[in-house]
Structure 1
Amino acid sequence: MAILSIVFFFAAIILAFVRKNNIGVLAMALGVIAVRVFGLSDNDLIAGVSVSLFTTLVGITLLFSIVTNTGALDLLARKIVALAGKRIWLLPILIPITGFVLVAVGPGGVPVLAIIPPLAVSIARQTGYNPLMMALIGISGMLSGRFSPLTPEGAIIINAVNESGFEHFANPAIMLITAITSIIVCVILFIMFKGYKVKAPEGVAMQVAEKFNGKQLAALGGILLMLILIIFVGVNIGMAALSVAAILLLFRVADDNVCIKAMPWNTIIMVLCVGALLNIVDLMGGISLMTDALASVMNSLSATPLMGLSAGLLSLVSSALSVVYPTMMPMCADLAAQVGGVNPVALMSAVAAGGALAGTSPMSTGGALIMGALGSELKDEFTKEYQNKVFVQLLIVSFVNVVVLMICGLVFYNPLANLLCPV
């Protein structure tokens, strides 16, 4: 039964990949069949839909839909980048920092993926840097910010840690470990694309004269209010975000119909419905079986890089947010206990980085958005030949990223995890 439950799960992934459907909808449909095959009830399937995660996802995405609607995030990003002025060597540093900040304050990776690639490509065209390099560096900079406690990805980690019984608050440690990995990846990308050869063009001006209007300031103030409610009042993340969103909408900072329609419902459905099917897999012993199978080929030295590789490979054909993290994060504590000599936080960090870094593949959201940004910004220059070249380059970068992750996992993930979250 455990093996059959895993078959149901991977059938959903394969069908979604081949047919280009929302994996969450297919997962729920297969879940309806699975509960009848396994003699369970529909209530067992429904129980897998996390109300807490739903509240967090809806609250955060609604709030940042409002902020994005006002243009505040885009203007903030452009002002941060403008700090470089004519010192264009600062831009490959400011772009990833901008990505990190925008992700970490709450929206998570998915909404900011729509901002960073177009911004990076636009800046690259003005300064002479390779547009693909700048977009990749921007997305790599977002990596560690995705695991802030305020983001949907961070919520998944907190949920997985709580369910596994692991006592430590893992998010800060995962953020630091993945931040070091992100810096290494950015440096490698800068060298690969020969960014060090670029000189500042004559007459370059990187100034943003536009000022924040009242609605934009109110929206940014809303983010600050959300943080105050969470940190100092102890309000649940989702509830805080929903409350602030309600206040902003009440005062007409943005149009509620437009903002609600702009929310990533596709992603929300994916995450919640895949969680429902995963609950059935867990009830039938499928998660334990996968954990045992991984443990059988791992030792304390190979566990971390192999988890990173597994997450990276799974991310090539599925969403990190809706499949990789909910599936693999809960395994980490049990796997660490079975293998021995490895810290669960090291494994969580490997899964976190693997799911994100392989996302630059052209088949994944990150890579697809990079190609979209290049097409929109470069227009006639983005010929069929150039498009095919970028496709291959993105595949190569995804492979290089996973190799770099495996080396990092082998060298410093476990020692650093033991230092930050000793077990």
Structure 2
Amino acid sequence: MSPEVIALLVLGAVFLVATVRPVNMGALALVATFIVGTFVYGMSDKEILAGFPGSMFVILVGVTYLFALAMRNGTVDWLVHAATRAVGGRIVLMPFVMFLIPAAITAIGAAAPAACAITIPLALRFARRYEINPLLMSLMVIQGTTAGGFSPIGIYGVIVNGVTDGAGLATNPPLLFAGTFAASSVLGAAAFLLLGGRKLIGRRHESPAKPQAETVGAAVAGGTPAPHHPGTAAATTTTQDADQWAEERPTLDVQRVATLVGLVALIVATLALDLHVGFVALTIGVLLTVAFPATAKAVVDKVAWSTVLLIGGIMTYVAMLEEQGTITWLGRGIVSIGTPLIAALVLLLIGAVVSAFASTTALLGAVIPLATPLLLAGDLNVTAVVVALCVCSSVVDCSPLSTMGALAVANSAEEDRERMFRGLMAWGMSLVLIAPAVLWTSLILPTAS
């Protein structure tokens, strides 16, 4: 059995064991990386650890640390109220606002993780306050982030257009942007319809759902609050609490103003100056801690350490596969398939599967060159295949093992993280199968010569 096959089988075993046993998948993946790297690939410890995603570690720690501070000092509550007032109190509009904000940010050239990291903590706080399904809000942010990324000046768009131009493939950048934006919009609409969005129609912030954040805020999978029976003391109490909260208008104090300045600095530094979002967030968080130590107690405990371990372990294993050429080996095997249409379908599947566990940015730079020999043969429409590859490689970013999905899990309330992880995993893995089939049928098959 070849090393490539062994490594892929071990990866499947990691997912299986972590599913049936209560063990952190990241810890299991790190053990698998050590065993496979040492005894199958003959790698040294230094070579194995070189694949650990230090950048992702800093992003997750920095962002969750900063927004934990912002939640403790009331800044996030103030922002939630401000966002509510901006849409006239129409709760139903907020999921779409959380779709459009990151779409605009990535469309002008921001990195997708930065746009997601800035937006998703606010989206989840809003969901928690108004008992909106947090899975819905997370998916709207993630799909919005993807929707803007393929603009001609977006990072994804620049990568894809540069790679195709270098390979001598004639593509249509505006059509690539339109196609990927449309696909992300359809998925956002599907999430809205399937995950409780219709229940928001007609709701306004003057009469929010009962804010039982610790018990009801819950239903990540279904978005349905726990039932309450009229006439009971509990129902009366929670109604009074809801009315009281509805009348709250958080005000700005020195600490909240300082936090808002820090958040603006985060946006400017990451989007305009292209600085690392994790380092910037951590720097701002530390400065706020030094300035206002009273509200910073136990904030480090709010960092999503289990998520950090999970993502770090899986990404280290995938990095090992990439370093040892296993991913390339898999791609070459696909392109060697005799029938172009079948090869294209398999390539879409590989793009979706790999992107669900690895960097979309890195994958886009690799998967299109793998498809180049297939596209140069002239049997398939180049633009259709490129659009399909880009959509399949990006819509699965909601996987909790991908950067943006990991941010959603990390910024969820502690009691919601397991449900969020499972919800994103189910949604993302469904798209791994559905997206290639739909795009192959609707784009590639009709345009093939």
- Normalised by the shorter chain, which TM-score bucket? 0.5 to 0.7
For the residues of structure 1 that align with 2:326 and 2:431, how far apart are their CA atoms? 31
Question: Normalising by the residue count of structure 2, what TM-score does the alignment of the two structures yield?
Answer: 0.60
Question: Would the aligned equivalents of 1:311 and 1:355 in 2 still touch at CA under 8 Å?
Answer: no
Deviation by residue 1:307-346 (Cα, 9 ceiling, x = unmatched): 666676789xxxx4x5585995564234333432367675
Within a 5 Å distance, the mapping from 1:245-324 to structure 2 comes to 245-252=285-292, 255-256=295-296, 258-296=298-336, 320=356
Letter in 1 for 2:280: A
For the residues of structure 2 that align with 1:228 and 1:240, how far apart are their CA atoms? 10
Within a 5 Å distance, the mapping from 1:7-406 to structure 2 comes to 7-37=9-39, 38-85=41-88, 88=90, 91-98=91-98, 101=101, 116=123, 119-120=126-127, 123=130, 137-146=136-145, 179-188=181-190, 200=202, 205=207, 209-231=249-271, 233=273, 235-252=275-292, 255-256=295-296, 258-296=298-336, 320=356, 331-340=366-375, 341=382, 347-356=389-398, 403=434
Question: Would the aligned equivalents of 2:180 and 2:391 in 1 still touch at CA under 8 Å?
Answer: yes
Secondary structure, counterpart of 2:249 in structure 1:
coil
For the residues of structure 2 that align with 1:246 and 1:351, how far apart are their CA atoms? 36
Question: Would the aligned equivalents of 2:67 and 2:121 in 1 still touch at CA under 8 Å?
Answer: no
Secondary structure, counterpart of 1:258 in structure 2:
coil
Question: Would the aligned equivalents of 1:144 and 1:178 in 2 still touch at CA under 8 Å?
Answer: no
Question: Would the aligned equivalents of 1:61 and 1:107 in 2 still touch at CA under 8 Å?
Answer: no
Deviation by residue 1:197-255 (Cα, 9 ceiling, x = unmatched): 98747995577622233323322211211233345555443333333223222212675
| Cross-structure match for 1:379 | none
Residue 32 and residue 339 in structure 1: after superposition, are their counterparts in 2 closer, same or farther (change >3 A)? same
Secondary structure, counterpart of 1:31 in structure 2:
helix
For the residues of structure 2 that align with 1:192 and 1:203, how far apart are their CA atoms? 22
Secondary structure, counterpart of 1:271 in structure 2:
helix
Q: Gaps spanning 5+ residues in structure 2: where? A: 150-154, 168-173, 209-245, 376-381, 445-449
Secondary structure, counterpart of 2:298 in structure 1:
helix
Question: Would the aligned equivalents of 2:146 and 2:181 in 1 still touch at CA under 8 Å?
Answer: no
Question: Would the aligned equivalents of 1:32 and 1:45 in 2 still touch at CA under 8 Å?
Answer: yes
Question: Would the aligned equivalents of 2:396 and 2:429 in 1 still touch at CA under 8 Å?
Answer: no
Displacement of 1:260 after TM fit? Answer: 2.0
Question: Would the aligned equivalents of 1:62 and 1:245 in 2 still touch at CA under 8 Å?
Answer: yes
Residue 214 and residue 411 in structure 1: after superposition, are their counterparts in 2 closer, same or farther (change >3 A)? farther
In the alignment of these two chains, the number of paired residues is 364
Question: Would the aligned equivalents of 1:70 and 1:216 in 2 still touch at CA under 8 Å?
Answer: yes
Letter in 2 for 1:333: I
Residue 8 and residue 145 in structure 1: after superposition, are their counterparts in 2 closer, same or farther (change >3 A)? same
Question: Normalising by the residue count of structure 1, what TM-score does the alignment of the two structures yield?
Answer: 0.63
Question: Would the aligned equivalents of 1:278 and 1:327 in 2 still touch at CA under 8 Å?
Answer: no
For the residues of structure 2 that align with 1:271 and 1:184, how far apart are their CA atoms? 28
Two-structure CA RMSD over aligned residues (Å): 5.2
Q: Gaps spanning 5+ residues in structure 1: where? A: 125-130, 151-155, 377-390, 414-423
For the residues of structure 1 that align with 2:313 and 2:337, how far apart are their CA atoms? 31
Secondary structure, counterpart of 1:59 in structure 2:
helix
For the residues of structure 2 that align with 1:49 and 1:412, how far apart are their CA atoms? 37
Question: Would the aligned equivalents of 1:101 and 1:145 in 2 still touch at CA under 8 Å?
Answer: yes
Residue 81 and residue 288 in structure 1: after superposition, are their counterparts in 2 closer, same or farther (change >3 A)? same
Question: Would the aligned equivalents of 2:52 and 2:316 in 1 still touch at CA under 8 Å?
Answer: yes
Displacement of 1:137 after TM fit? Answer: 4.4
Question: Would the aligned equivalents of 1:60 and 1:241 in 2 still touch at CA under 8 Å?
Answer: yes
Residue 197 and residue 32 in structure 1: after superposition, are their counterparts in 2 closer, same or farther (change >3 A)? closer
Displacement of 1:353 after TM fit? Answer: 0.6
| Cross-structure match for 1:6 | 8
Residue 298 and residue 397 in structure 1: after superposition, are their counterparts in 2 closer, same or farther (change >3 A)? farther
Question: Would the aligned equivalents of 2:64 and 2:303 in 1 still touch at CA under 8 Å?
Answer: yes
For the residues of structure 1 that align with 2:294 and 2:361, how far apart are their CA atoms? 33
Residue 256 and residue 285 in structure 1: after superposition, are their counterparts in 2 closer, same or farther (change >3 A)? same
Letter in 2 for 1:339: L
Question: Would the aligned equivalents of 1:55 and 1:238 in 2 still touch at CA under 8 Å?
Answer: yes
Residue 365 and residue 399 in structure 1: after superposition, are their counterparts in 2 closer, same or farther (change >3 A)? farther
Residue 194 and residue 313 in structure 1: after superposition, are their counterparts in 2 closer, same or farther (change >3 A)? same
Letter in 2 for 1:70: N
Over the matched positions of the two proteins, sequence identity in percent amounts to 17
For the residues of structure 1 that align with 2:188 and 2:148, how far apart are their CA atoms? 24
